[in-house]
């Protein structure tokens, strides 16, 4: 039993070879120093973009201590040290982000930036919000293009999740018909978390909805709904808060749906290539 336990601990305990400290992050890593430093620059780019985007959110501007990240050298090592991770490429747990260095990806950081956005939501902005906001913000930032060391917030990256699922959408142009056929989830269900399809079987569809709704509210029509979105966050992200600051959910549903169709068209036309 002791041998088995020792083997498990060896398999699941990270022994980082390098520690990189940036202004806001402490990164323990088994990757190369150059890789860890590069990831640190991407994280700082996210931090700055997040602060600029939500400068009027409640909560401290600076965390009390450095935000913690464990960065593995590759996917195989990440899964060896985290055998219960399932399909995830990164995760955020108990104040720490866990991810690995990508190699062939056009944006090797998007899954790290996704979990780091959750970290910012919880540890910096101190948000207490429902899933549609928490996951919506994480996908909005992480699925933005990262080009030449700069995060182009709101410009979708075709190679990032869930943007690549846009290509598989088959929307009819009639939102009610698509809701009935299961191609779209009612906005009421997205906001409340009740009454929609089973999340286990429609996982990717939910993520497309959370991302596209957030993109609609923050980047659609030159971002004119951003201030309303921040007020919704301040009020906890409920349906009542949504309708108070944006209007009836049935009316907004049609506008968001057309935004989603436009995102689909732009993806097919190749506009989201970095």
**Contact status, residue 106 vs residue 159, Cβ threshold 8 Å:** yes
Nearest partner of 219 among 270, 155, 169, judged by Cα: 155
**Contact status, residue 160 vs residue 90, Cβ threshold 8 Å:** no
What's residue 52's pLDDT?
86
CATH number for 13-126 (one of 3.40.30.160, 2.160.10.10, 3.30.2350.10, 3.40.50.720): it is 3.40.30.160
Long-range contacts, 206-209 (Cβ 8 Å, 24+): 207/135, 207/139, 207/161, 207/162, 207/165, 208/162, 208/165, 208/166, 208/169, 208/260, 209/132, 209/184, 209/185, 209/260
What's residue 8's pLDDT?
44
User: Residues in the chain with pLDDT < 70?
Assistant: 1-16, 57-65, 103-107
**Contact status, residue 107 vs residue 160, Cβ threshold 8 Å:** yes
Rounded to whole angstroms, how far apart are CA atoms 104 and 217? 32
What's residue 103's pLDDT?
67
DSSP 8-state assignment for residue 64: S
What sign has the CA pseudo-torsion 16, 122, 260, 182?
Answer: positive
* Torsion on CA atoms 109, 167, 197, 117, rounded to nearest 10: 20
Token digits of residue 53:
């985007």
Which ranges in the chain belong to alpha helices (H)? 2-12, 33-53, 75-81, 110-119, 131-142, 175-181, 187-192, 203-219, 226-234, 239-246, 249-268
Phi-psi label, residue 91: left if phi above 0, alpha if psi -120 to 50, beta otherwise: beta
What's residue 63's pLDDT?
55
- Enumerate the CATH 3.40.30.160 domain ranges in the chain, comma separated: 13-126
Q: Which residue(s) pair with 146 in the sheet?
A: 151
């Amino acid at each position: 039993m002791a041998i088995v336990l020792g083997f498990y601990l060896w398999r699941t305990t990270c022994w980082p070879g390098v520690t990189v400290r940036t202004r806001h992050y402490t990164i323990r890593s088994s990757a190369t120093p150059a890789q860890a430093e590069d990831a640190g620059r991407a994280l700082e780019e996210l931090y700055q973009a997040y602060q600029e985007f939500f400068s009027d959110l409640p909560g401290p501007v600076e965390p009390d201590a450095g935000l913690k990240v464990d960065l593995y050298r590759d996917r195989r090592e990440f899964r060896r040290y985290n055998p219960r991770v399932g399909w995830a490429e990164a995760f955020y747990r108990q104040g720490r982000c866990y991810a690995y260095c990508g190699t062939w990806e056009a944006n090797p950081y998007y899954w790290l930036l996704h979990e780091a956005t959750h970290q910012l939501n919880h540890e910096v902005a101190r948000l207490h919000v429902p899933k549609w906001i928490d996951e919506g913000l994480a996908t909005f930032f992480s699925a933005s293009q990262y080009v030449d060391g700069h995060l182009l917030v709101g410009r979708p990256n075709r190679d990032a999740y869930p943007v690549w699922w846009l290509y598989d959408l088959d929307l009819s142009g009639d939102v009610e018909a698509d809701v009935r056929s299961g191609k779209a989830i009612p906005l009421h269900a997205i906001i409340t978390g009740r009454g929609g399809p089973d999340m286990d079987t429609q996982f990717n569809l939910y993520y497309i909805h959370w991302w596209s709704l957030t993109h609609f509210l923050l980047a659609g029509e030159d971002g004119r709904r951003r201030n309303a979105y921040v007020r919704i966050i301040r009020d906890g992200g409920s349906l009542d808060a949504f309708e108070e600051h944006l209007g009836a959910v049935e009316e907004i549903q049609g506008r968001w749906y057309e935004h989603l169709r436009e995102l689909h068209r732009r993806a097919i036309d190749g506009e989201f290539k970095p």
